[in-house]
């Protein structure tokens, strides 16, 4: 599933704001959306990504490939940016598990305190070879 329904679903879970230019990529299981990524703020060199999931056990190789193929191979961005409230330990651990690197901290810029800026380059992304390994 792609498009506006995924964007709206991710925004509903994350408390995001509507953006008619955002792109959504979703993962369905048994006809239900269980995970999604919303991409926005694309400027040609970078894009912001926002992830939401309905449970802890959703990671799927095909979805991970699609989620990283879009920005790196279709848009040719140099970096994906993730903005994380420093108080959100689960989001921080998730981004770090995917391979995002903490690049900057903006003190006092998030509701929970500091805003952490995580980034990933194409070279740091280990999910783009999943297509070859899993035939996706």
In the chain, the number of structural domains is 1
Tokens 């990933």 belong to 120
What order do you get walking across the sheet with 101-110 strand by strand? 23-29, 32-40, 46-53, 79-85, 113-121, 101-110
Closest by CA to 120, choosing from 84, 88, 85, is 84
Range of the domain at 11: 4-134
Ranges of beta strands (E only) in 19-129 are 23-29, 32-40, 46-53, 79-85, 101-110, 113-121
Contacts of 104 (CB under 8 A, 6+ apart): 116, 117
Distance, in Å, from the CA atom of 9 to the CA atom of 11, rounded to the nearest integer, reads: 5
Read off the CATH number of the domain in which 65 is found: 3.40.630.30
pTM score of the predicted model: 0.91
Residue where the block lists tokens 């709206």? 8
Is the CB of residue 69 less than 8 Å from the CB of residue 27?
no
Cβ–Cβ < 8 Å for 16, 83 = no
Spell out the per-residue pLDDT of the chain, length 136, in tens: 778 999 999 999 999 998 999 999 999 999 999 999 999 999 999 999 999 999 888 888 899 999 999 999 999 999 999 999 999 999 999 999 999 999 999 999 999 999 999 999 999 999 998 765 544 4
């Amino acid at each position: 599933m792609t498009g506006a329904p995924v964007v709206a679903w991710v925004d509903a879970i994350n408390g995001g704001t509507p953006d008619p230019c955002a792109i959504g990529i979703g993962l369905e299981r048994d006809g239900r959306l269980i995970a999604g990524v919303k991409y926005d703020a694309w400027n040609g060199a970078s894009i912001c990504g926002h992830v939401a999931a309905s449970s802890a056990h959703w990671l799927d190789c095909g979805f991970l490939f699609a989620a990283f193929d879009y920005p790196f191979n279709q848009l040719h961005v140099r970096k994906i940016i993730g903005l994380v409230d420093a108080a959100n330990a689960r989001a921080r651990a998730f981004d770090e598990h995917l391979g995002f690197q903490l690049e900057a901290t903006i003190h006092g810029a998030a509701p929970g305190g500091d805003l952490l800026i995580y980034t990933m380059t194409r070279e740091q992304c280990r999910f783009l070879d999943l297509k070859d390994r899993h035939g996706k």
